[in-house]
Structure 1
């Protein structure tokens, strides 16, 4: 049983990644993101997930710099955006992100979307491999990649992605993708695990939450962990950030896990990666 907020999973290169982190999608740069990240670090979070397109890397970096947490205890993730696909473009984008974050290295760098219309994600991946070989990032991975995108990378590259961060929640549990990732040693990570609050009134989850005397959000986060999925719930409210971390003092029964698994309807909240081409 995963017992505390600093508990980690070990990626296939030996790097340890926290099971729970703070996501900062749609968190405004400046005071909002600085205070959110600081609140998370004070509670005990050690994983922070941002992206170039979120336009808040500077605020994340400021919060880290002003915290008393040693750099080696942190796990910082950011992502290369669609407009920067390509080998040289990705290397340049990495430098920009690192400077904005004020860091000497990253813990995880992801390709944000496969962007199939441009057909450059192999080229982009080779840039990530170079950054990894150069020791500028401890782990490399992808986001929103489907099985056929992953197969393409595995067939054409030297380093198998260590992480695939995807839309994952009780309505969309991506069981086939998850099985594929397990087979290849790729850690699945859930973005928007709470479906942006869209599951808080789901009767099955409400009933389970009452049984364990927990919030529906805590039940979902615990379900992620017990399914072997890293999770990065987002909040800007300190009490919610703290509450989302209080998931290590109970364990869902297999019966309740099955009830939540059965909520799956293959309902995407966001775009299909094969169709999402925004740059």
Structure 2
């Protein structure tokens, strides 16, 4: 990251040797060009330097254009931002190379900072289909090849279980840099986090607000009131205070700005414990535990 990265966005060093900001903007369901431009502009002003997209979000081209237009406006270059995209589950296996190159071309930003296998299964196959492991292994070999060429600066996975992670680490040439999964106080992911720690993989959160359900949780609201913050800020702070990067999604400029204000306060140990005690293994998003 260059020196123009704002001090409000600390980063983590990935095992691939690149720095990834602890805060990024999620772009799921952001597809209208005007919405994308507005969100990216607001995010850059608020100090975001990471942006998370995916082939299946169908916004890579719009998003790439928005960044190209807006970076100079804010005195920034391509090197100042960290871009993530992901392999569509329908392209798992032999179509992975074509799909990854398509993402590179859609974004049109020269390279992708982090490229993830979005899902351990293949869209056209049943969860228990024995071809799933071979397909994701083939996808991973493709990612390794593109990483070696410098087109993907870091490679990783999303929605993998501990079993998927162990299988990958046993067979890969290049270890995954990141595992991106659902993570919030109701889903503390203890086993997955320890697997990541063991293998030197950065554990990254999505759905930090539990698809919005957790902002009205009584404990979250009480903690927010006591530290004069919004429930969303408290939930995001709970993650980053544990060194877990977050990618909250919003198209609302005020909320984007609010969500960035998570590095100028600290939750007490008591509050952290109260929030972690909400853990009940609850998933608001798709569950990949049945994928062989």
Tell me the TM-score range normalised by the shorter chain. over 0.9
1:247-258 to structure 2, matched below 5 A, reads: 247-258=262-273
2:87 equivalent in structure 1: 80
CA contact (8 A) 2:9 2:263 kept: no
Q: Which runs of 4+ in 1 moved over 2 A?
A: 3-6, 274-277
1:135 equivalent in structure 2: 150
TM-score, normalised relative to structure 2: 0.91
1:110 and 2:116 aligned: yes
SS of structure 2 residue aligned to 1:248: coil
Deviations 1:30-80 (A, max 9, x none): 211222112111221100000000001112111101112210011000000
> How many residue pairs were aligned?
274
2:235 equivalent in structure 1: 220
1:94 equivalent in structure 2: 100
CA contact (8 A) 2:178 2:202 kept: yes
The unaligned stretches of length 5 or more in structure 1 are none
Q: Residue 50 of structure 2 is aligned with which of 44, 47, 50?
A: 47
CA contact (8 A) 2:12 2:22 kept: yes
Give the alignment's Cα RMSD to 1 decimal. Answer: 1.5
TM-score, normalised relative to structure 1: 0.95
Deviations 1:79-125 (A, max 9, x none): 001111114x1111111111111111010000000005341111100
Deviations 1:130-171 (A, max 9, x none): 011111111000000011101111111111101000011111
SS of structure 2 residue aligned to 1:154: helix
The unaligned stretches of length 5 or more in structure 2 are 1-5, 122-126
